[in-house]
Structure 1
């Protein structure tokens, strides 16, 4: 079993990537509370460790070149965040069938679907969405890791 903070990191990253992909190429404010849930700062105005871990995950995505933003809104959001080219290409790329199988993502009767739909259902972003829907932490971690380590030599 992975450390809980690592599982939360993968879930936070997955939710952020899905949110940004869903509005790409538009810039949006990416709020920590929309990802990690509500937070009540303590009597000194400090956020919880969970909130700060999510905020740290968002900053890490920028440091690793997966998103850009204009500024932070205190420690509550990234202002005008957008996926980078590399992140968009990586999320849009087909994932290996072995990953879909291992992650338990089943696409019923894909042979009957148009090729464009088959392509969409085989992408990393689709696998991330399906993993999030499952709520299975191990599945989310596996799919996000595979997306991080996906071969990006095609661009």
Structure 2
């Protein structure tokens, strides 16, 4: 079992990437509270460790070239964030067949009745990320995010 902070990291970045993909190429503000839940700063104005971990995950996505943003809004949001070309291509790319089968996504033979565009959409990394988030299963979210981060980079 992974450390809880790593599982929270995978969930936070999955939610952020889905938000950004859903609005691509429009720039949006990405609020930590929308990802990690409400947070009340303490009497000194400091956020909780959970809030700061989520904020750190958003900054990490930018440092790793998966998103761009104009500025931070205190430690509460990224202002005018958008996916990078690299992230958009990665999320739109087909996921490994072994992973899609594990998630019950029909393979080409069993999905022949579906239009080709639907077949292609069902096999993408972003579809798997959304499916894993809907399941609420931390292990599945972690597995999909690892596959997305470590996917074959020859297409990038």
Aligned-residue RMSD, C-alpha: 1.2
Q: How far does residue 112 in structure 1 lie from its aligned partner after superposition?
A: 1.1
Please tell me whether the aligned partners of residues 39 and 47 of structure 1 are also in contact (alpha carbons under 8 angstroms): yes
Structure 1 portions without partners, runs of 5+:
none
SS at match of 2:14: helix
TM-score, L = length of structure 1: 0.96
SS at match of 2:26: coil
**Corresponding pairs, count:** 154
Q: How far does residue 105 in structure 1 lie from its aligned partner after superposition?
A: 3.5
Q: Determine whether 1:53 maps to 2:53.
A: yes
Please tell me whether the aligned partners of residues 105 and 127 of structure 1 are also in contact (alpha carbons under 8 angstroms): no
Deviations 1:86-131 (A, max 9, x none): 00000000001101223x2334952211001100010000000000
TM-score, L = length of structure 2: 0.95
Q: Determine whether 1:110 maps to 2:115.
A: no
Q: How far does residue 151 in structure 1 lie from its aligned partner after superposition?
A: 1.1
Q: How far does residue 154 in structure 1 lie from its aligned partner after superposition?
A: 1.9
Structure 2 portions without partners, runs of 5+:
none
Please tell me whether the aligned partners of residues 105 and 130 of structure 1 are also in contact (alpha carbons under 8 angstroms): no
Query: What is aligned with 2:65?
Result: 65
Write the distance in 2 (CA, Å) between the matches of 1:76 and 1:114.
42
